[in-house]
Homo-oligomer: A and B are copies of this chain.
Amino acid sequence: MRVDFWYEFASTYSYPAAMRCAALATAAGVTLRWRPFLLGPIFAEQGWRNSPFNLFPAKGRYMWRDLERICAARGLPFVRPDPFPQNSLLAARLALAVPEALRPDFSRAVFAAEFGQGRPIAEKPVLAEILQKLGLYAPDYFDLALGEARAKLKSENAEAVRLGLFGAPTFVTEDNELFWGDDRLEQALAWAQQRG
């Protein structure tokens, strides 16, 4: 039983999902694969050059309040990043560059910096600090981010489009059922369990 966790570092609801999904998957006996991708190119395909939360203000106001409620209920720190959305390209490439076993820790640290502390995750020093805390030599990973991880992110995004992803987070089961949103994590895990 495996579920793929597709997330985007600029995505607000990916933050609370990233902070809880590993624990819930373990409790459910489900293997989780962490798969960062970019929503920007997918949004651009449908004519959006910005986050829908900026393009549609009523939806944006709701989302910020909702995220604040979710974080408060779960005891997660929350600082609204400025600007929003953050440029997540380098963080996504690095997430694919680091050893797979460290990808969850790296990703949680990026989300915590961005949405828990309001730090600018597009900036190299912020990402370098996260890499170093994980015991990784940052310059090596910035090199990888420009090489094979860059190509890998492109192919991952092509796979996201093929699967029909249109938002993040999305949980995808082995039989290609999509569950969109942090609030669907439990259903995705239950689906995987029932068919495991």
Contacts and interface: CB of A to CB of B under 8 A. Distances in A.
Interface in A133-168: 164-167
Contacts of A56: 46, 166
Contacts of A165: 58
Interface residues of A, number: 20
A25 B46 CA distance: 38
Interface string A89-127: 000000000000000000000000000000000000000
A167 B56 CA distance: 11
Interface stretch (A12-20, A29-37, A59-67, A76-84): A59-67
Given A65-B178, A178-B65, A183-B183, A166 B46 contact: no
A62 B183 contact: no
A172 to B, nearest CB: 11
A178 B165 CA distance: 26
A51 to B, nearest CB: 14
Contacts of A183: 183-184
21 contacts: A42-B58, A46-B55, A46-B56, A56-B166, A58-B164, A58-B165, A58-B166, A59-B166, A59-B167, A61-B164, A62-B164, A62-B166, A62-B178, A62-B180, A65-B177, A65-B178, A66-B178, A66-B180, A69-B177, A183-B183, A183-B184
Interface of A: 42, 46, 55-56, 58-59, 61-62, 65-66, 69, 164-167, 177-178, 180, 183-184
Given A58-B164, A62-B164, A66-B180, 9 more contacts: A46-B56, A59-B166, A59-B167, A61-B164, A62-B180, A65-B178, A69-B177, A183-B183, A183-B184
